[in-house]
Amino acid sequence: MKYCLFFCFSFTSFLYSFAQQQTAAQMQETAKSQMQQGEFDNALLLLNRARQQEPNNIEILKDLSFTYYLKRDFASGIEFGKVLIEKPGADQQSFQILGLSYKAIASYVECAKLYKGALTKFPNSGLLYNEYAEMRASENNLEEAILLWEKGIESDPVYSGNYFNATMYYMRVKKWLRATLYGETFLNLESYSTRTDEIKTQLFVAYQNLLAPSVIEQLLQSKTISAFEKALLESLAKSTGKLQNMVKIENIISIRTLFILQWLQGKQKLYPFRLFDHQQFLLNNGLFEAYNYWLFSTTLNADVYTIWQKTHGKEFEGFKNFQEGRVFKLPVGQYYFSR
């Protein structure tokens, strides 16, 4: 025990002495390494020394507030977070970090004030809309949460977090069409993350339900859908025809192929939509089948997917190279939904 205490004291003394010889940037970099190893006290020692050298450095303040959050010293995280957001250069992440500590202690009133103020400063921040919505969802206020996720999608269509949460929400309330659109969009924005497989599974279930007998016809009778959604459903209805056993991936691919061809005939100019442009490109370049197998890969038997890859090697490699080498971007202004 004495040896352990001596070692800890010696290491802390070493850090203190070492910090005096470093620039603020060097101390901050060392602190990040300590933070990643879970050595929060050592990280804080270095960050506080760095702040003495550069008291107005936004990045140092962000690391301080976040390290206190990770250490579960939320009071200190809030203290430094408040200082941080008052700085002229405070960015979206500055407000996000302070919000984490507020949410950790369920200080939802203060957290809501924080996000509302942040959104007046960053009115098109998908990040902040998502953080605010997640806070509302944690209060079981899902009606307000989905409005915020939708606003985030409309304002900042390249931020993936809003699509993920909106997809999960629409699966919960059984709005299958919106779930398929947002789920697929998410997968193109965030193709290889820990959340990807979860959404792939949800996407297949959404299609199973959307393509079930009479569902599209029932949705077309709804008075709450937008003109865009009605146009989608009309094209989808023409594409399904009399195909049965919609659970099979082969049938889903056939329907999705026919849908794109239908959409190109009359609706593409009326409702430009990046996701459908992407599908058209893949179809024209012989990659659409591979893309669909990738989309629904978590629902397939592993042997079936492996066999398909081997028998369609050229297409599989072509899609893989394309997928890994491109960045999927969505423009502002292609939001056609009713809220």
What is the rounded CA–CA span in Å between residue 31 and residue 86? 23
What the block records as the tokens of 337 is 């939904």
* Crossing angle for the helix pair 126-138 and 108-121, to the nearest 10 degrees: 160
- Are 297 and 200 in contact, with CB atoms under 8 Å apart? yes
Each residue's pLDDT, cut to its tens digit, for the chain (339 residues) gives: 544 444 444 445 554 554 456 899 999 999 999 999 999 999 999 999 999 999 999 999 999 999 999 999 999 999 999 999 999 999 999 999 999 999 999 999 999 999 999 999 999 999 999 999 999 999 999 999 999 999 999 999 999 999 999 999 999 999 999 999 999 999 999 999 999 999 999 999 999 999 988 899 999 999 889 999 999 999 999 888 756 555 678 889 999 999 999 898 878 889 999 999 999 999 999 999 999 999 998 887 778 888 888 899 999 999 999 998 888 999 999 999 975
Contact (CB, 8 A) for 339 and 165: no
Residue 2, pLDDT score: 42
Q: What CA–CA distance (Å, rounded) separates 226 from 141?
A: 24
Long-range CB contact pairs, 102-109, < 8 A, 24+: 102/78, 103/134, 103/135, 103/138, 104/69, 104/72, 104/74, 105/74, 108/135, 108/138, 108/139
Please provide residue 329's backbone torsions phi and psi, each rounded to the nearest 5 degrees.
-125, 145
268's CB contacts (< 8 A; 6+ apart) are 276
153's CB contacts (< 8 A; 6+ apart) are 126, 162, 163, 166, 182, 335
Angle, to 10 degrees, between the axis of helix 176-189 and the axis of helix 196-210? 150
pLDDT at 247: 64
Residue 98: per-residue pLDDT: 98
pLDDT of residue 21: 62
- pTM of the full predicted structure? 0.89
Q: In the numeric block, which tokens belong to residue 12?
A: 């802390």
What is the predicted pLDDT for the residue at 243? 60
Looking at residue 264, its pLDDT comes to 86
